């Protein structure tokens, strides 16, 4: 059974990937490498978390707005936690 932290990281990386995929729609192929470098940096940032509490705290403080978790959006955080639970 996976632990909650590794599952939460996978969920966040998946969400970031979805956002990047949606945003690339009108992007020329030549710009993909630079564009996806940002996704790689997000994945590295996510991988550095040492607890689920750190992730939730950052969500509540607006540090994940770029992938849809806005400051003080408790419902989005609860949905994230449900997704983590369902993925375990």
pLDDT at position 14: 92
Q: Determine the structural domain holding residue 23 and report its residue range.
A: 4-87
Q: What is the pLDDT of residues 22-75, one digit of tens each?
A: 888 888 889 888 888 989 999 999 999 999 999 999 988 888 888 888 777 788
CA atoms within 13 A on the CB side of 58: 19
Q: What is the pTM of this model?
A: 0.81
Contact 16, 67 (CB under 8 A): yes
Alpha carbon distances (Å) from 23 to 19, 55, 58:
6, 24, 23
Total number of domains in the chain: 1
Distance between the two ends of the chain, CA-based, in angstroms? 7
């Amino acid at each position: 059974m996976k632990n909650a932290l590794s599952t939460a990281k996978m969920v966040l990386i998946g969400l970031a990937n979805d956002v990047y995929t949606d945003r690339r729609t009108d992007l020329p192929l030549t710009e993909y490498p630079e564009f996806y470098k940002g996704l790689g940096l997000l994945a590295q940032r996510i991988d550095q978390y040492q607890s689920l509490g750190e992730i939730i705290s950052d969500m509540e403080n607006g540090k994940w707005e770029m992938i849809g978790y806005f400051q003080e959006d408790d419902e989005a955080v609860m949905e994230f936690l449900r997704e983590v639970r369902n993925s375990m």
